[in-house]
Structure formats: structure tokens, C-alpha cells
Chain A
């Protein structure tokens, strides 16, 4: 329903603002986050029926603050001091009144500070992802659990532990020191990229909840880009997400099988998303030193601008990969680079590049290496060896669609003998 949709969008937009204000005032990230979740729940049930209040943010702040004071009261023995503070200071009334008059910049800072807090280095990657989705994205624990295909109790524990770890690490609700800021921002970008990938790699599956994660990642990246418009890597990440997500409609065949990039029907790519992504990355590269996300986005843009797979500018892609391999060397970059080199200079050149990955323990037994090798051997006209490589890759993957695809590729090679 459109009405519910609007309420949900509004709540998700207000979540980081309300949580930020509460944590700024009271500290205690853990408790404030719980209180905000309860206020969101109350709003999600009441607003669609009773209408959205005139000052929705003030409403959420009031309800969340009441939850906090209720909890402090019930903890009376240990928490006498906080109760005294809470009673002396009519926090919720003051904040509800102040809600509209506060400058917007305070909210922006709060959202950014929250992102930095949720991506605290004391947390494991999975916990950073869960906490970001909840505290900044405003998703419920149940939604996050469904998206990760784990029981709600499991996710609830993961989130609770993450919040406790942040408290234990003594993290305060302030921006990281200038020296740490770049490092923390890189973590934030990685977490958003992880959220995107969790949704994107799973969108072939039957579970639509996971596909929604891509939308959430793009929404958060957009917010971040709005807060830090002068950061080229933020722009690069948003562009990369938009350009990748633009393939969504074309990457699945009629039976739900994966369609490789070269065989996708390009008329089904999302032209609006591509135009936005291409503009973003083209502009960013004019004023920002190229970082890994910008280069990946630039590669995606070259693919997107080719009217057909055959007309792809492989020379330019090879040049971009060479640059990427220099500033952010990584075996997965080499793997992709070898495909581009094979397209530009022939399969033998690509296969030669692959041999250096056989010695790298991170990729030596990896099924992606075998899959790419199968592809290049097929290009080189060696169906027997290609078949063996495809079968090795099929045995190594834990993805059902990928396994089916690789077995099909193997079956299409002329059987040995």
C-alpha cells in the first residue's frame, strides 16, 4: 500500500536523526537504540491508522525518550542518578519542541557519526553490517534476520553483542579523530558495499527480502554522498552500485539461471540508473584522485556504454584494471584483469596472467579461478581442458545457480575422447 510505504520511508529517514539526537544527549548507545526501535514499532502500528503526526520527528523523540526514562526508573537501585537527571531535565518535552528549529546540519553530522559508530573497528564485519542496517537504516531485527537467512534470535544476539562491544570499547558519540577518519570512512564504504553484495548476489534466489538489501545499500550510499559530496570514493561507490544494479532485470534467464554479462539483453538494463552512475563517476574522476571504487565504477561505466558486448572498449578496460592492480592489488582484480586482457589481446595472454594466481594461496584452489580458466580455455579452442576446469569450478562453488551454470558450460564442451 502506498500509504504504508510512505510511512515506512518516513520512518527510515527519521531513524538516524532521532537516534543521533538521543545518543548525543544521553550517551548509552545500546539503550537509546533499543528505545528508538520501540518508538519505530509504535509509529509503524499507529501512524497508518491514526495518521502521521504534525511533527513526526518530535513524536518519535518523545516516545523514545519516555521508553528510556521508564527503563531508568525501573532500574531504580542502580540507576538513581540517571532518573534524577531525567526527571530534572524534561528531556522529551524540550527535544520535541526543539525538533523543528534545529539546523539540518546537526542531523547530517549525527547520521555520519552514527555510521562511523556502527562501523567501529571493534566489531566483526557481519556485526557492522547488522548494526548499520538497524541503527542507520531503520530496519527491524526480524527484517535483517530474514535478509541474512538466520533465525531472528540469532540476529538479535548478534546485534545485542555488537552494541555491548561498542560500549565496552568506550566508543563515544563523536566523530573519529582526523587521523582515524579516513580509515573509518573506508570501513563504512566496505560495509555499504558488503550490504549491496549480500543483496545482489542473492537476488537470483527465491527470497526477495535479500534483494531489497541492494536498495537499502544504494539509499545509504546516497545519504553518505549527500553528506560528503567532496569525497571521490563515496561518489565512486554510489556509481558502482548504480551501474551494477542496472543489470538486475537482464541477469536472470526465464528459468532463473544466471546470464553472463556478454549475453545479457542490454535493452533491459536500467538506462536511468546507468545515466546517473556514468555522470557521477565521470565527474568524480575529474576532481578526485582515482581510488578503487572509482576505478571499478569506471570499468562498469565502460561496459554500460557499449551498445553490444562485441563493441566493448576492452583496451580502456585493460588500462583501468592495470591502474586498479597498481593502487589496490588483489587476486580478484588480477582474475578480472585476465578476462579483459584475453578480450583485448587474445586468450593466451589472459591465461598467462592467470598462472600467477596458481601460486597465490588465497586463490590457488578457488572455484572462481577454475571458472575463469575454463572460460579462457574455451576461447582458446581447448574444449577438453575447459571442461575439466568448469567441472572443478562446479565442485568448488557453494552457490546453486553458479553450480548449475558451470555444469551446463562443462556439458557443452565436447566430451573427451
Chain B
């Protein structure tokens, strides 16, 4: 799974030209992944201002507004790909345009239900 971390709203500060180019790049990567059969799933998340966080306060779950992490970068969405190696997944992540604008991509394997005989 490729986790997309970026600074919320960074696209609003781009020139229209840059913004169009960025979305174009995303479309192109998505099209390529669909054609290669590596595409599995993916979602973009709504703005962090709409986040609710649940945590225990005094031993009881409490619901508070706002994201869990108080960092500049926030979790913005994910892609799931089915590819030959972690290196290939990292290669796809490296092309994601957010990286150029200070975003970070985290590449993590997904646990599966398969087990080998031991």
C-alpha cells in the first residue's frame, strides 16, 4: 500500500498551470497502472478539518475534532497496487507528484491471510 502524506491544501497555492500539470500526472500514473494490471484500489481522503479522533480520556473513549497527528503533513489518501516487488511499488511512489511539493509517500506491504507450512 502506498500511503500519501502531504500538506493539506497545498494544491490551492499552486498556479493553475502547475495544478493542471499535477492532476495530469496523477491521471497518467493511474492510467498506466490500470493498463499494466497493477492497480488494485485507492481513495483520496477529505480535508483533515473534517477528521474526528477517538481516544481514551480518563479511561473512557472520547471523540474530539481534528487529526491524531499534529504535524504539517497529513495522511491524504492511499493507493493499493499489486506488483512484483517492493522496489517496483517504491518506483511508483517516487513518481507521485506530491513528493515534489514536500509530500511524503510511505510504502508498506499488506498482511495477507496466507500462511506457509512450518
Contacting A at CB under 8 A, from B1-48, are 34-41
What 0/1 readout, one digit per residue, does chain A (177-212) give for beta carbons within 8 Å of chain B? 000000000000000000000000110111100100
- A398 to B110, Cβ gap below 8 A? yes
Chosen A-B contacts, 28 in total, with CB atoms closer than 8 Å, are A150-B40, A154-B34, A154-B38, A154-B39, A157-B36, A157-B37, A159-B37, A161-B35, A201-B114, A202-B113, A205-B115, A206-B113, A207-B113, A258-B115, A258-B116, A258-B117, A258-B118, A261-B118, A398-B109, A399-B112, A399-B113, A399-B114, A399-B115, A400-B115, A401-B114, A402-B118, A405-B115, A405-B118
**Which residues of B have CB within 8 Å of A126?**
37, 82, 84
Chain A residue nearest to B41 in the complex (CB) = A151
Residues of A within 8 A of B (CB): 124-127, 148-151, 153-155, 157-159, 161, 201-202, 204-207, 210, 247, 251, 258, 260-261, 371, 398-403, 405
Q: How many residue pairs bridge A and B at CB < 8 Å?
A: 84
The B interface, classified by DSSP as helix, strand, loop or mixed, is loop
Question: Which of these, B36, B38, B40, B115, contacts A402 with CB under 8 Å?
Answer: B115
Per CB-CB distance, the 4 closest pairs between chain A and chain B, nearest first, are: A205-B113, A158-B37, A401-B115, A202-B114
Contacts of A405 in B (CB 8 A): 115, 118
B108 nearest in chain A by CB position:
A398
Contact B116 A201 (CB under 8 A): yes
Q: How far is the CB of B28 from chain A (nearest CB, A)?
A: 16
Are B41's CB and A260's CB within 8 A?
no
Q: How far is the CB of A282 from chain B (nearest CB, A)?
A: 23
- Evaluate contact between B118 and A247: CB separation under 8 angstroms: no
Query: In whole Å, how far is A395's beta carbon from the nearest beta carbon of chain B?
Result: 12
**How many angstroms from the CA of A205 to the CA of B111 in the assembled complex?**
12
Q: Which residues of the other chain, B, contact A210 by a CB distance below 8 angstroms?
A: 114
B86-118 Cβ-contact flags toward A at 8 Å (1 or 0): 000000000000000000000001111111111
